[in-house]
Amino acid sequence: MSKNESVSHTPAATSQSRLARLLHLLEPTRDANHTLGIEERSGRAAKVGCVAIALTAVSLFGIAEVPPPLRMAAPLIGLSLALPLVLTLWLLAVLPRHARLLASLAALALTAVGAACFARATAAQVVIAYFVPAFLLLLAGDHISD
């Protein structure tokens, strides 16, 4: 009896192999033996960075108690300091370490401005417009590879 003849083609064996293939597809993509490739890390950094920049626009809407300079600070910080993080994925002129540094500075600035706005706006608005983008920028900077 050869190896091919020892394989059982019963309905139970076939359903187990289908189940095994389905479970393999549902497994997380990152396990102990798999590291993310450059393309995967860059794509993830771009998505997270763009979401962070977009969330800074929340400060423009619905925070009436905050003075306009503080209200405009989050989008300006997001566009001026965090945009190079996203641009470093396509432009070779922006070095990844400089983009990570600018993203860290943007996260620090967003946290500081958010703390200044915390007494005048609701907690949910400040968390969504300032603290979540700061965390996402740090996460995106971590996904950028040299």
**Phi then psi dihedrals of residue 120, to 5 deg:** -105, -15
Tell me: the pLDDT tens digits for 31-56?
444 444 556 667 788 888 888 888 88
Global confidence as pTM: 0.67
Nearest one of 114, 102, 90, 111 to 140, comparing CA atoms? 102
Domain ranges of the chain: 38-143
Task: Give the C-alpha separation, 66 to 49, whole Å.
Answer: 25
Tell me: the pLDDT tens digits for 46-88?
888 888 888 888 888 766 677 778 888 888 888 888 888 777 7
